[in-house]
Structure 1
Amino acid sequence: MQNMWIIFTIIGLVVLGLVILLIMAARYQRDYWHYLNIPHERPKKLWPIVRQIVTQSLSTEAMKTAHYSALYSKFKGSGPFCGFYALLQPRALILDRELIRQIMIKDFWNFNDRGLYCNQKTDPLSGDLFAMRGQSWKEMRQKLDPSLESDRMSWLFGSLYEEAEQLLLTVTSTLMKQPHSTLHIQKLMRRYVLSALAKCVFGLDAQQRLKYSLEDFEKMTEMAVSSHKHGYLMNLMMIRFPNFCRVLQMRRTPKQAETYFLTLLSDIVGQREASGVRHQDYLQLLVEIKALELITHQYQADKELNTHLQNELAAHAVVFLKAGYEQTANTLSYILYELAIHTDVQATVREEIKKAMERHDNNLNYECVQSLAYLGQVINETLRVHPITPYILRRTLTDYQVPDHPNYMLVKELFLIIPTHAIHHDPDIYPEPEEFKPDRWGGPRDSLQEQGTWFGFGVGARSCIGIQFAQLQLRLALALLLMEYEFTLNSRKPLVSLDDGIALQLTPLGVIEPGTEERAV
């Protein structure tokens, strides 16, 4: 009996010791930035944190953006970065432009991790360029970079032009069917971008859409982009403990979406490889990369290797949906919104398009679209006011001593936040930041300055690989729409977020009679 008491006492002491260690670790975690003497925001009280975890009340993107902007304004000038806490986890918000350049460009090798979970073995669509890190990311980027260089865009121009024409026809037909001239613009822009990606990246031309309809494609895209296999806590665990979660073979892509895209691409790629016909779209470039990889390996007929490369192809195709679908459609909607408010800017863009077409024999060809310098300024200014990503997330691969700041260390696996929206609206960088002024971009460009102050498509080696593709989508749609319609704001209510919707009034610049929509295009 006495031995039992001794055992219970020992177990009780061990449990008590573990509880004390846990409390000490939590206390240290909560005071991490205080111990390092780094300017920081104090963490929340313990109860609100527990309640947020239990209720799984996520912070929205708007809430995070406002929080990071407040931190930026409060601590700017106090040092190269400040500290804050996400639940109990210490994170750093980068304040200094020079440190941003070091993170994004100069010492990029140590910051090429976006902090996203991927597991290529059990979740092949998660193994994309957006989520990869380290050497795996570098090798994939080197393979794919040549496929989206600017000289390739002229090759894709025809396919994208057809989609932009279809957008114009859809707008015209919609206006002809309703008694008023007002359109909620985001839905149309999303359909245009989705259809263009379906055609150019997935090979869904008119014939293929008989089997794989655009409606099903849209449904699966929404599932892959917006939904997750697990709930809040499990997704948080995959980000915090990725190696452990890979051992458990956890995945984040819904199985139905994975099956759909793998089947679709396997079918279409198989048809192309069997026929030998070379198509003029981006999928063709991916097929050629896959074929080159097979040739350079010793065992060309290796079924496992072929499956791996096919999965890589699928992951890269799907990343266009993850990183380009909503983002490009939202940017288009914002541009039209700003042009509807600033009709003088809209008139200037329209005049530039007219003059450019006159120089190119009234042909809106690739060279004509690329020559629209002022339209480029409008796109840049829209991306400043309404950045695609309101903040950039990075995670350090190894400990990093901040140059010229001996007391500032970015430790291994630390999450870093670059507050894009706050920097884009900093009056010390952009005077009158809330004003829409495309002329900001009309003078000589200081590329070194922009590396730390403008993040329209990211900065450095990990910038958006599809910059040229997205730019061409934007320019084509805007050029065709602005040549046919004048856009004005339907309401005086200012736009708070895209969730509220953008209602624009369209006035035809020429007379379009019922039944002549095709001719109008």
Structure 2
Amino acid sequence: MSPTEALVSIVLGLLGYVIYRLRQGMTYWQRHGIPCEEPHYLVGNLVGLGKTRSFPDIWLDTYRKFKGTGPFCGFYWGRSASAFVLTPELAKLVLIKDFNKFSDRGFYHNDKDDPLSGQLFMLDGHKWRSMRNKLSPAFTSGKMKMMYPTIVKIADELSNLTGAMQKQDTVIEVKEVLARFTTDVIGTCAFGIECNSLKDPNSEFRAMGKKALTDVRHTQLARTIISSYPELAKCLHMKVIPDHITKFYMGIVCENIEYREKNNIRRNDFFDMLLDLKNNKVLKSEDGEDMSISVGELAAQAYLFLIAGFETSSTTMAFALYELAQHEDMQQRAREEILEVMVRHEGKLTYECMSEMVYLNQIISETLRLYTVLPILNRMCLEDYPVPGHPKYVIKKNMKVLVPAGAMHRDADLFPNPDKFDPEHFSAEQVAKRDGIEFLAFGEGPRNCIGMRFGQMQARVGLAYLLKSFKFSVCDKTPIPMVYNTNTFLVSSNTGIYLRVEPV
């Protein structure tokens, strides 16, 4: 064989091997006899994403098509084979009972080169456990009570702004107004600054908050490569947070640290607790682990508080008002409850009022069920896992596991009339009948949302302040039925949410 023929043979052999490996990857579930949607050779089962379908559409379509076929179905996230959970029983195993086998989320982070990526949500393994232990004391009911007056003060500003806007035009786009409210809350509690988004919608902090959710560093192809080959990406010092985002938030954090330490200022907020960790003013953990954090770790957790706190809460509040505007009887019942609770507390909305506003809390839970802001829970399998009772169904080591919380919330077997807004789904009687795993708005198990109490508190306060003073109803510009944004991982309306607002 001549050198040329040998070279051609080698090239053809390599090409054939590559084609074989690519085909093997996209036929994994078919070869194992697990039901799945036939994948596109590039995007897998994400066909139409960002154009004709949103992420929540894909999760719901998959769940409804394959429910009843087994504990999970096959799913291709791009070219990666994943297990898509179809039963509450398997969800409970993954999130709670066998958590140690699914404790990681498997998201790329590089805290050495990209400090803001070292946030609790992205961390895995020992780093996650250690950071969770350090941060947990910041989210106790006692700490929530300390931050409560700050939220009330900003909610009062929200009410005043709504009144002023209503006098100019009775139709208000509530989604943006509520985002400004939660931005001010998070800016104050997590970064310790008065960002004044309610007074100035064009404030720099509000603008950067939007960019934190929309600006990306890489193309979709590059993000797919980073996700598929994380160790190589780290060796290449690849980052995921855009430089202008890192510069802005690191700058705020460093300035605030210097100001508070120089002037010995304490505000009993989340930033204070992070400072105590940085300066090691807390006791060591039970196993003697050092509980201090670096400036970069401090900034990453404050950044997580921002991106996980302002958009999710404001979206939930906007959807709640959207539904209450269409169900004025429910709105009136909530308003009467708020006013009755206030009478018992000398006309004030105290911290204790939050737990007494039972129906308002049902409304918030039902909103989170119908509009589950984070509609999918991601986990990574750490060892081969045969599903108990289903020997044919094996989740392989390093395989992604998808728990479709939003789709489960719209399952008629779990919630009667699942597409209807009905706060009675969360009456004490109905909650007692259900397994807790059937409502996953805040996740479940050791990796549930650490900021759940805070998110619930700011939503309750904001809605209470608005409902006690204003009546909301639909108008010609109200988007009915709701149209969702197809370009975001979260559940979000495609347009603003316009409602008619009148003083009570």
Q: TM-score, normalised by structure 1?
A: 0.88
- How far residue 453 of structure 1 moved from its aligned partner, in angstroms, is 1.5
Q: For residues 440-479 of structure 1, what are the structure 2 equivalents within 5 Å?
A: 440-444=425-429, 449-479=434-464
Considering only aligned residues, what root-mean-square deviation do their CA atoms show, in Å? 2.5
Q: For residues 128-147 of structure 1, what are the structure 2 equivalents within 5 Å?
A: 128-147=119-138
- How far residue 162 of structure 1 moved from its aligned partner, in angstroms, is 0.8
Q: Which residue type is aligned with residue 415 of structure 2?
A: Y
Find the counterpart in structure 2 of residue 483 from structure 1.
468
Counting aligned pairs with the same residue, the percent is 33
1:10 lines up with 2:2 in the alignment: no
Find the counterpart in structure 2 of residue 276 from structure 1.
264
CA distance in structure 1 between the aligned counterparts of 2:310 and 2:52, rounded to whole angstroms: 17
Find the counterpart in structure 2 of residue 265 from structure 1.
253
- How far residue 495 of structure 1 moved from its aligned partner, in angstroms, is 2.2
Map Cα deviations across residues 254-297 of structure 1 (whole Å, 9 max, x no partner): 11111111111111112212222321222111111222279869
Find the counterpart in structure 2 of residue 127 from structure 1.
118
- How far residue 393 of structure 1 moved from its aligned partner, in angstroms, is 2.0
1:94 lines up with 2:88 in the alignment: no
SS at match of 2:379: strand
1:291 lines up with 2:279 in the alignment: yes
Q: Against the structure 1 CA distance between its residues 436 and 448, is the aligned structure 2 distance closer, same or farther, given a 3 Å change threshold?
A: closer
- How far residue 422 of structure 1 moved from its aligned partner, in angstroms, is 1.6
Q: For residues 210-225 of structure 1, what are the structure 2 equivalents within 5 Å?
A: 215-225=203-213
1:196 lines up with 2:192 in the alignment: no
Is the Cα–Cα contact under 8 Å of residues 184 and 194 in structure 2 kept in the other structure?
no
1:437 lines up with 2:443 in the alignment: no
Q: Which has the larger radius of gyration?
A: 1
Q: Which residue type is aligned with residue 349 of structure 1?
A: A
Find the counterpart in structure 1 of residue 58 from structure 2.
67
Q: How many residues align?
A: 486
Of 186, 199, 217, which residue of structure 1 is paired with 2:175? 186
Is the Cα–Cα contact under 8 Å of residues 187 and 306 in structure 2 kept in the other structure?
no
Of 242, 249, 252, which residue of structure 1 is paired with 2:237? 249
Of 17, 23, 28, which residue of structure 1 is paired with 2:19? 23
Is the Cα–Cα contact under 8 Å of residues 120 and 126 in structure 1 kept in the other structure?
yes
Map Cα deviations across residues 156-197 of structure 1 (whole Å, 9 max, x no partner): 011111110111111111122x2x311011110010010111
Find the counterpart in structure 1 of residue 481 from structure 2.
494
Of 101, 109, 128, which residue of structure 2 is paired with 1:118? 109
Find the counterpart in structure 2 of residue 302 from structure 1.
none
- How far residue 400 of structure 1 moved from its aligned partner, in angstroms, is 1.5
CA distance in structure 1 between the aligned counterparts of 2:281 and 2:28, rounded to whole angstroms: 47
- How far residue 232 of structure 1 moved from its aligned partner, in angstroms, is 1.0
Q: Which is further off, 410-419 or 488-497?
A: 488-497
CA distance in structure 2 between the aligned counterparts of 1:404 and 1:91, rounded to whole angstroms: 20
CA distance in structure 2 between the aligned counterparts of 1:235 and 1:79, rounded to whole angstroms: 31
CA distance in structure 2 between the aligned counterparts of 1:265 and 1:438, rounded to whole angstroms: 40
CA distance in structure 1 between the aligned counterparts of 2:22 and 2:385, rounded to whole angstroms: 24
SS at match of 2:401: strand
- How far residue 61 of structure 1 moved from its aligned partner, in angstroms, is 10
Gaps of 5+ in 2: 286-290, 485-492
Runs of 4+ aligned structure 1 residues displaced above 3 Å come to 57-62, 293-297, 444-451
Find the counterpart in structure 2 of residue 157 from structure 1.
148
1:507 lines up with 2:502 in the alignment: yes
Q: Against the structure 1 CA distance between its residues 81 and 367, is the aligned structure 2 distance closer, same or farther, given a 3 Å change threshold?
A: same
Q: For residues 331-350 of structure 1, what are the structure 2 equivalents within 5 Å?
A: 331-350=316-335
Map Cα deviations across residues 52-93 of structure 1 (whole Å, 9 max, x no partner): 99xxx8546953322222221222111110112233322221
- How far residue 451 of structure 1 moved from its aligned partner, in angstroms, is 3.4
Q: TM-score, normalised by structure 2?
A: 0.91
- How far residue 466 of structure 1 moved from its aligned partner, in angstroms, is 0.8
Q: Which residue type is aligned with residue 79 of structure 1?
A: G
Map Cα deviations across residues 8-43 of structure 1 (whole Å, 9 max, x no partner): 222222212111111221222222112111122222
Gaps of 5+ in 1: 298-304, 510-521
Find the counterpart in structure 1 of residue 31 from structure 2.
35
SS at match of 1:490: coil
CA distance in structure 1 between the aligned counterparts of 2:216 and 2:166, rounded to whole angstroms: 37
Q: Which residue type is aligned with residue 323 of structure 1?
A: A
CA distance in structure 1 between the aligned counterparts of 2:6 and 2:43, rounded to whole angstroms: 33
Q: Against the structure 1 CA distance between its residues 62 and 361, is the aligned structure 2 distance closer, same or farther, given a 3 Å change threshold?
A: farther
Is the Cα–Cα contact under 8 Å of residues 103 and 380 in structure 2 kept in the other structure?
yes
CA distance in structure 2 between the aligned counterparts of 1:386 and 1:58, rounded to whole angstroms: 19
Q: Against the structure 1 CA distance between its residues 61 and 403, is the aligned structure 2 distance closer, same or farther, given a 3 Å change threshold?
A: farther
Q: Which residue type is aligned with residue 265 of structure 1?
A: V
Q: Against the structure 1 CA distance between its residues 346 and 61, is the aligned structure 2 distance closer, same or farther, given a 3 Å change threshold?
A: farther
Q: Which residue type is aligned with residue 86 of structure 2?
A: L
Is the Cα–Cα contact under 8 Å of residues 163 and 503 in structure 2 kept in the other structure?
no
Q: Which residue type is aligned with residue 201 of structure 1?
A: A
Is the Cα–Cα contact under 8 Å of residues 223 and 254 in structure 1 kept in the other structure?
no
- How far residue 448 of structure 1 moved from its aligned partner, in angstroms, is 9.2
SS at match of 1:292: coil
Q: Against the structure 1 CA distance between its residues 447 and 455, is the aligned structure 2 distance closer, same or farther, given a 3 Å change threshold?
A: farther
Is the Cα–Cα contact under 8 Å of residues 399 and 412 in structure 1 kept in the other structure?
yes
CA distance in structure 2 between the aligned counterparts of 1:473 and 1:127, rounded to whole angstroms: 25
Q: Against the structure 1 CA distance between its residues 87 and 201, is the aligned structure 2 distance closer, same or farther, given a 3 Å change threshold?
A: closer
**Greater percentage in helix:** 1
- How far residue 322 of structure 1 moved from its aligned partner, in angstroms, is 1.8
Q: Against the structure 1 CA distance between its residues 61 and 202, is the aligned structure 2 distance closer, same or farther, given a 3 Å change threshold?
A: farther
- How far residue 249 of structure 1 moved from its aligned partner, in angstroms, is 0.3
Q: Against the structure 1 CA distance between its residues 369 and 91, is the aligned structure 2 distance closer, same or farther, given a 3 Å change threshold?
A: same
